Amino acid sequence: MALRRDLASPPAAPLLLASTSPRRREILELLRIPFDVVAPDYEETEDDPVAHAVGKARSVLAAADGRPVLGCDTEVVLDGRVYGKPASAEEAEEMLESLSGCVHEVVGGLALLTPAWEEVHSATTLVTFRALTPRDLAHYVASREWEGRAGAYAIQGLGASLVERIEGDFFNVVGLPAPLLVRLLAERFPGARQQNHRRSPERPSDHPPG
């Protein structure tokens, strides 16, 4: 079905990001997509990043005043086990040791919603960790960079030293599948894309794939 004329026009106001994640804010700023931030009122009760993304976005949709709402979530998965955010240094070390020398999936859920339509998608990036030594584990855990990170690491920080190879979208591992979002915005708001000349961001050169 063809988009209504008003839905195909550029958004009259910034996106509403249903997340307080600094990483997601940084990606949107890099994309030069205007946005406002609101904390989602949503409790994660299952290991499903897509459901979490939708839940976060829907929790603030009523307050969006017609603006498109963006919800995101990220999970690390290895052999069917979902690695969430570690609660302690000991749990972080156990997670990293499990990921050592293995290929795991980073699954990002993305929901872009308005009262008129919903775009709900997922993106998967494959990340290979090199074999980590006890010294590697101790050094990284001591950095405390693992705090608040799914899978106990941050790919855009010291965690890059743990990685041997990445297959797929780097920004999905950071916390937001940027090329997917850019494509959805181009499809839903083509006029805004032409006006702002938005494009997918280039991957930072200081953290190249292994």
Q: What is the pLDDT of residue 201?
A: 52
Summarised one tens digit per residue, pLDDT across range 52-67 is 999 999 999 998 988 9
Q: Is the pLDDT of residue 77 over 90?
A: yes
CA distances from 151 to 72, 143, 210 (A): 16, 15, 19
- Which one-letter amino acid corresponds to residue 14? P
Are 108 and 73 within 8 A, CB to CB?
yes
Specify the pLDDT at position 189. 87
- pLDDT (0 to 100) of residue 18: 97
Tokens of 69: 């709402």
The three-state secondary structure class of 209 is: coil
Q: Given pLDDT bands bounded at 50, 70 and 90, which one contains residue 203?
A: low
* pLDDT higher than threshold 60 for residue 1: no
Query: For the segment 99-148, what is each residue's pLDDT rounded down to a tens digit?
Result: 999 999 999 999 999 999 999 999 999 999 999 999 999 999 999 999 99
The amino acid at 84? G
The answer to whether residues 153 and 166 touch, using CB atoms and an 8 Å cutoff, is: no
Give CA–CA dist 149/143, Å, rounded. 13
73 carries an active-site annotation? yes
Percent of residues, the chain, with pLDDT higher than 70: 84
DSSP codes, 56-97: HHHHHHTTSTT--EEEEEEEEEETTEEE---SSHHHHHHHHH
* Average pLDDT, integer, range 185-204: 61
Closest CA to 96 of 193, 23, 161: 161
Q: How far apart are CA 23 and CA 207, in angstroms?
A: 15
First vs last C-alpha separation in the chain: 44
Note the pLDDT of residue 45. Answer: 81
Mean pLDDT of the chain: 87
Beta partners for residue 110, in sequence order? 72, 121
Q: What is the predicted pLDDT for the residue at 115?
A: 93
Q: Has residue 196 got a pLDDT over 80?
A: no
Quick one: the chain helix, strand, coil %, rounded to 5? 35, 20, 40
Please state the rounded mean pLDDT for residues 80-103: 96
Structural domains in the chain, sorted by start: 15-196 (3.90.950.10)
Which one of the listed residues 41, 73, 169, 206 is annotated catalytic? 73
For the stretch 152-174, pLDDT in tens is 999 999 999 999 999 999 999 99
Give the model confidence (pLDDT) of 22-38 as tens digits. 999 999 999 999 999 99
